[in-house]
Structure 1
Amino acid sequence: MTSNFGLDRPQGSRIVVAMSGGVDSSVTAALAVATGAEVVGVTLQLYDHGEAVKRTGSCCAGQDIYDAKQVADRLGIAHYVLDYESRFREGVIDRFADEYARGRTPIPCALCNQGVKFTDLIHFARELGADCLATGHYVRRVVNGDRVELHKGSDPKRDQSYFLYGTTTDQLGFLRFPLGDLPKSEVRRIAAENGLIVAGKPDSQDICFVPNGDYASLVKRLRPETEAPGDIVDLDGRILGRHRGVVHFTIGQRRGIEIGGSPAPLYVVRIEPEQGRIVVGPRSALAIDRIRVEELSWIGEGQSEVSVKVRSLAPAVPALIDGGWVRFDRPEYGVAPGQAAVFYDGTRLLGGGWIADTVAADPRLTCAAAA
């Protein structure tokens, strides 16, 4: 259980560790302590929706802050809790709700990493005179000559590179990810070996600020217009039924379309929030030829031939980049505006951006997403 965290002389160095209260960040702290460097744990309090105080397996609230403190005490390191609730609400939660109100499918984890979790935490760590900031993400930081690269985690089931596409080159020089080569079983073994109370703590399965995974209730409270009922129509605009609010639907969804008598399964093809309509069609209508990507961010050299992931759990597929447009080698299914398109060269993360518009493989079905 040794790592120098990419530091020439760990002893005499200072490592700040982002501690969410979960097993991954706790083991990151334990690995940092093992180097002999001075280690400081930092936990961000990002939200508190009442019952979230009692939740475990999330991060950045209530019980999880307490767990992070207990781990820090066990390891004998200083521990700070920073109240970033207002910044998180404005930069992540409000935008999450706004995206659903626009008929898009947001990805809050990427927003959080681009904002408070990296930008603000790195600033704080540098103010403390730290040599690096370490996190529990399953990605690999690779030094290739005079270049620092970010690669997928060794375990494809744990890889979190998709959510880190907005990391900048300057940030990568300061960040460390010691878990990138480890399987989860080894992480839990290290936690148990160090007597950490989180060794058996379950992994989070939900968006951290959404109690019990009920994102619709949160969005409806913040943006009540998203629960207005409306029509479900086919590709030709014929009314097939009614829905109980656009907040309940995402592109590619099949469940929850309450229409009887359809000879074939129907999927959500388009969401039109201004008209309050959900457009449905056969799976073939989900085939997308190309997408327009905005707010492009590059951590590696920009290149035209890439592999691209359009969902966190989707495989990377070959594509060609031309300006802000990305054309797939073969049609891709279930591509949702609001998600991220993330570019790779093999295992190396190159960058990405937000999916703004989609162009269907069948030109008769093309409709730009709400901008």
Structure 2
Amino acid sequence: MSGGVDSSVAAHLLLEAGHHVIGVFMRHGHQSPAVCDLGDAPASAELPIVRLDHKQGCCTAADAEDARRVADRLQIPFYAIDLNAEFGQIMDYFAAEYAAGRTPNPCVQCNNWIKFGKLFDYADSVGAEYVATGHYARLQTIDGQPALVRGIDDAKDQSYVLFGIQRPYLQRMMLPVGEYRKPAIRELATEVGMNVADKKDSQEICFVTSGRYDEFVRHRREGESVPGDMVTTSGEVVGTHQGIEGFTVGQRKGLGVALGERKFVVRIEPDTHRVVLGDRNELGRAELTASECNWLTEVPVAEPQRGLAQIRYNAPAAPARFTRLEGDRLQVTFDEPQFAVAPGQAVVCYDGPRVVGGGWID
């Protein structure tokens, strides 16, 4: 229970279905000036409420209090578990990827390592059979096997960020809100009197409190940053930068140089510390490879499959042919070039609405 409307309604729906529900809040102490330190305070204890103006987070003290109040209203047990060490690993991954000229996706890793990783360990410790969250995705049985499929609400679908879950966990997952559209979830929250019915969705990465990824990376890596040149695809030096951690492929704003025409980051070179700028058409890629793949269906090696491939959370899935390679690798060839394919992001393959699997773009 993150303190948001989705996980709150998920708990309500599970209760309505007759399940015995235990609410769990993940605290890590890095997300805001107000640390999620519930300690052993009773459910009625007041916590300092600090709502940052740049986001509605998922792990602030205010969120912890919201989650606790919802649990009280639903009359279910509520626990805050300390995942400081695990979140530290996610932050290290985030900083290391940006410093290497890649674009990380900590939300996917949080799902892989924590929400559908460590929380299963916690579930086992309290004798819980399932782990449920408020993600907008669904679980179905296809050909006798559990399958992860897109949620009903296309605008909120989160199946992309769940591709890395270990396949055996699918049979122990529950995703109650995936059968609903977002307005219906808010209506349900209002009907049952939840104080989070109108709460805004989280928009920022919970541990980057300033909204400046480059500042976070430099701080996490103790100021370890190397300046370099801004160059065009023709090799012309047009400026300098303070570190490649401030850029991502496809970026147009905040480049720090004025060229009189729109330019995009088309490539980042960690070896030379160069950020390469070009026109939008230079961002197009017809194919990609990915590593550290995870498969949620049986995919034969070296046999191409037709389907859809999605290269980032807010991008539409595009028709493509994907081939599973040896060594947990993947090759994707698109029918039409895709723009701003960023190394470090996930590419997720679909068979219709079903998640087949995916990996991390090279």
What residue number does 2:159 align with? 161
What residue number does 2:266 align with? 269
Match of 1:39 among 21, 43, 47: 21
Provide the C-alpha distance between the structure 2 equivalents of 1:283 and 1:50, rounded to a whole number of angstroms.
37
SS at match of 2:179: coil
| Length-normalised TM-score, structure 2 | 0.88
Q: Are residue 330 (structure 1) and residue 336 (structure 2) matched?
A: yes
| Kept in 1: contact 2:213–2:246 (CA 8 A) | no
**Match of 2:279, as an amino acid?**
P
**Match of 2:29, as an amino acid?**
Y
| Kept in 2: contact 1:101–1:225 (CA 8 A) | no
**Match of 2:278, as an amino acid?**
G
* Pair 1:66–1:236, CA change in 2 (3 A): same
Indicate the RMSD between aligned Cα atoms, in angstroms: 1.7
**Match of 2:51, as an amino acid?**
R
Provide the C-alpha distance between the structure 2 equivalents of 1:268 and 1:52, rounded to a whole number of angstroms.
36
Match of 1:344 among 329, 346, 350: 350
Structure 2 stretches lacking a partner, 5+ long: 36-49
Provide the C-alpha distance between the structure 2 equivalents of 1:239 and 1:247, rounded to a whole number of angstroms.
19
| Pairwise CA distance, 1:50 | 4.3
Q: Are residue 55 (structure 1) and residue 37 (structure 2) matched?
A: no
| Pairwise CA distance, 1:256 | 2.0
SS at match of 1:213: coil
| Length-normalised TM-score, structure 1 | 0.86
| Kept in 2: contact 1:292–1:325 (CA 8 A) | yes
SS at match of 1:290: strand
What residue number does 2:109 align with? 111
Provide the C-alpha distance between the structure 2 equivalents of 1:290 and 1:160, rounded to a whole number of angstroms.
24
| Pairwise CA distance, 1:320 | 1.7
Provide the C-alpha distance between the structure 2 equivalents of 1:99 and 1:135, rounded to a whole number of angstroms.
27
**Match of 1:272, as an amino acid?**
E
| Kept in 2: contact 1:188–1:199 (CA 8 A) | yes
CA-to-aligned-CA distance 1:326-365 (integer Å, 9 cap, x gap): 1112211100000000000111111100001xxxxxxxxx
Provide the C-alpha distance between the structure 1 equivalents of 2:258 and 2:184, rounded to a whole number of angstroms.
50
What residue number does 1:244 align with? 242
| Kept in 2: contact 1:253–1:267 (CA 8 A) | yes
SS at match of 2:337: strand
Provide the C-alpha distance between the structure 1 equivalents of 2:148 and 2:64, rounded to a whole number of angstroms.
29
What residue number does 1:189 align with? 187
| Pairwise CA distance, 1:199 | 1.2
CA-to-aligned-CA distance 1:200-249 (integer Å, 9 cap, x gap): 11111111221142222211211255654321111132211122332221
| Kept in 2: contact 1:290–1:326 (CA 8 A) | yes
**Match of 2:337, as an amino acid?**
P
| Pairwise CA distance, 1:108 | 0.5
Provide the C-alpha distance between the structure 2 equivalents of 1:194 and 1:325, rounded to a whole number of angstroms.
48
**Match of 1:22, as an amino acid?**
G
| Kept in 2: contact 1:226–1:247 (CA 8 A) | no
Name the stretch that deviates more: 94-103 or 206-215: 206-215
SS at match of 1:64: helix
| Pairwise CA distance, 1:307 | 0.7
Structure 1 stretches lacking a partner, 5+ long: 1-18, 357-371
> Could you tell me the percent identity over the aligned residues?
43
SS at match of 1:187: helix
What residue number does 2:44 align with? none
Within a 5 Å distance, the mapping from 1:139-178 to structure 2 comes to 139-178=137-176
What residue number does 2:178 align with? 180
* Pair 1:327–1:224, CA change in 2 (3 A): farther
SS at match of 1:70: helix
Provide the C-alpha distance between the structure 2 equivalents of 1:289 and 1:186, rounded to a whole number of angstroms.
39
| Pairwise CA distance, 1:52 | 4.9
**Match of 2:276, as an amino acid?**
V
**Match of 2:108, as an amino acid?**
A
| Pairwise CA distance, 1:132 | 1.6
| Kept in 2: contact 1:226–1:246 (CA 8 A) | no
Within a 5 Å distance, the mapping from 1:224-263 to structure 2 comes to 224=222, 227-262=225-260
**Match of 2:67, as an amino acid?**
A
**Match of 1:89, as an amino acid?**
G
